[in-house]
């Protein structure tokens, strides 16, 4: 019986190794399946440049920066994008603020990471500067496993440049990737964890740079997890309903930013 503990230890170690290898194989398979999935593409005819609200109302230039969320990937009509729905809310206004004539544009690029924001900021500041900039970034930083602090540093630099130019900035941090149905468990849970790490680093960097933070995961994640209809057919990009949920979460901060800039 003297060799029994050693045999048990070896058996346990072998089981753990097999479990680890099996888990790694499962994750590898899920990664390949996620990559092979057919994802929505930007609609070529969807030009994110329009105006909303009474022409006689005070003007507000609103620009979106970031990844596919800033472009509206997953829907076909500008009115269904987060920018379009947010612009409509701002244009309608409230009894306290009144309506606004919103001039909406986007310099976002699908697939962008935080390192791409420097170019987008330069484009956003060409010509007449915007009054309010909404930045939606982080999903691709998380899924490509970027260092959260490094990604957040690039975001912070973008916010500082916009603020130095006199632009009010609202940042929607990385959404709840654990709600995305394009990935199966446990990959989905891992993506959710990576997204939360990115979002926390983003929030710190944006606050330090003088921007306003909207925690999209905290404010809208439960809705996305409960309702599959908030995602488009690819299970990754939002649907019109999903973009509406984001727009309503962003609106209070954007409305405050708009009033600050008056």
The tens place of each residue's pLDDT in the chain, 262 residues long, gives: 333 334 333 433 344 344 434 444 433 444 434 444 566 887 755 566 889 999 999 999 999 999 999 999 999 999 999 999 999 999 999 887 889 999 999 999 999 999 999 999 999 999 999 999 999 999 999 988 889 999 999 999 999 999 999 999 999 999 999 999 888 888 889 999 999 999 999 999 999 999 999 999 999 999 999 999 999 999 999 999 999 999 999 999 999 999 985 5
Distance CA 198, CA 205 (A): 11
Residues 131-153, buried b or exposed e (16+ Cβ, 10 A)? bbbbbbbbbbbbbeebebeebbb
- Residue 1 inside a domain? The answer is no
- Torsion, Cα of 194, 195, 200, 203 (10° steps): 150
- Residue 5 inside a domain? The answer is no
Helix 240-260 and helix 216-226, axial crossing angle in degrees, nearest 10 = 160
- Residue 154 inside a domain? The answer is yes
- CA nearest to 142, candidates 133, 129, 153, 151: 151
- Residue 22 inside a domain? The answer is no
Give the SS3 label for residue 166. coil
Q: What is the pTM of this model?
A: 0.85
- Residue 179 inside a domain? The answer is yes
| pLDDT single digits (tens) 69-98 | 999 999 999 999 999 999 999 999 988 788
Give the contacts of 162 (CB within 8 A, at least 6 positions apart): 121, 124, 125, 133, 169, 211
Structural domain containing residue 78 = 37-260
| pLDDT single digits (tens) 194-229 | 999 999 999 999 999 999 999 999 999 999 999 999
Active site residues: 68, 234, 237
| Number of domains making up the chain | 1
User: The CATH number of the domain where 64 resides is what?
Assistant: 3.40.50.1110
- Residue 10 inside a domain? The answer is no
- Residue 103 inside a domain? The answer is yes
- Residue 65 inside a domain? The answer is yes
């Amino acid at each position: 019986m003297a060799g029994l503990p050693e045999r048990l230890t070896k058996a346990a170690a072998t089981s753990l190794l097999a479990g680890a290898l099996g888990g790694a194989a499962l994750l590898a398979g899920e990664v390949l399946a996620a990559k092979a999935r057919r994802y929505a593409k930007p609609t070529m005819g969807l030009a994110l440049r329009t105006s909303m609200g009474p022409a006689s109302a005070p003007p507000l230039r609103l620009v979106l920066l970031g990844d596919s969320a800033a472009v509206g990937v997953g829907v076909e009509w500008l009115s269904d994008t987060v920018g379009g729905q947010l612009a409509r809310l701002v244009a309608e206004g409230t009894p306290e603020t009144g309506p606004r004539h919103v001039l909406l544009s986007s310099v976002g690029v699908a697939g962008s990471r935080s390192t791409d924001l420097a170019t987008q900021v330069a484009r956003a500041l060409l010509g007449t500067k915007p009054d309010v900039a909404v930045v939606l970034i982080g999903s691709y930083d998380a899924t490509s496993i970027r260092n959260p602090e490094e990604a957040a540093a690039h975001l912070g630099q973008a916010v500082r440049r916009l603020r130095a130019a006199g632009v009010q900035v609202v940042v929607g941090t990385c959404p709840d990737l654990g709600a995305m149905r394009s990935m199966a468990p446990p990959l989905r849970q891992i993506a959710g964890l990576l997204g939360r790490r990115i979002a926390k680093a983003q929030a710190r960097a944006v606050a330090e740079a003088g921007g306003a933070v909207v925690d999209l995961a905290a404010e809208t994640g439960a809705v996305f997890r409960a309702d599959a209809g908030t995602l488009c057919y690819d299970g990754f990009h939002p649907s019109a309903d999903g973009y509406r949920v984001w727009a309503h979460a962003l609106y209070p901060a954007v409305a405050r930013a708009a009033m600050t800039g008056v």
